[in-house]
Structure 1
Amino acid sequence: MATRKNAKPKPAACPDCKGSGEVPTTVLVGRKRRPVGKQSGICLNCLGTGEAPADGE
């Protein structure tokens, strides 16, 4: 298979979510706030895109 010469390089993965766009958040319940599990949430660093944000923007 031939490679394209004009192909854009793949953007770097977000360091916080490792490119998935989601991060685990611990779910706390009860008066003592004990952890019972994990819940997936959107990555606030890349806003769910999975790409590393550009510096200076």
Structure 2
Amino acid sequence: MATTRRKKTPAPAPAPAKCRVCKGSGEVSITVRVGRKQRSVGAQTGLCLTCLGSGEATD
């Protein structure tokens, strides 16, 4: 009696590590300053320069 060989399913790939600066969102908050006295008027979101917006760690 012959037995059939079963194929093993490959293990799923590990999830990529999240960026430490933006915590995986791809965006960072920057304080906006205006005027001669450089007063703060609010926050603006911008692209994370560490991961270039992907949210994945490059290290």
Superposition RMSD on alpha carbons, in Å?
1.3
TM-score normalised by L of structure 2: 0.79
- Which consecutive residues of structure 1, in runs of 5 or more, have no partner in the other structure? none
Identity value in percent: 59
- Which consecutive residues of structure 2, in runs of 5 or more, have no partner in the other structure? 1-8
Deviation at 1:5, TM superposition (A): 4.2
Alpha-carbon separation, structure 1, partners of 2:24 and 2:41: 26
Do structure 1's residue 33 and structure 2's residue 38 form an aligned pair?
A: yes
What is the aligned length?
51
TM-score normalised by L of structure 1: 0.81
Do structure 1's residue 8 and structure 2's residue 13 form an aligned pair?
A: yes
Q: Return the index of the structure with the highest Cα Rg.
A: 2
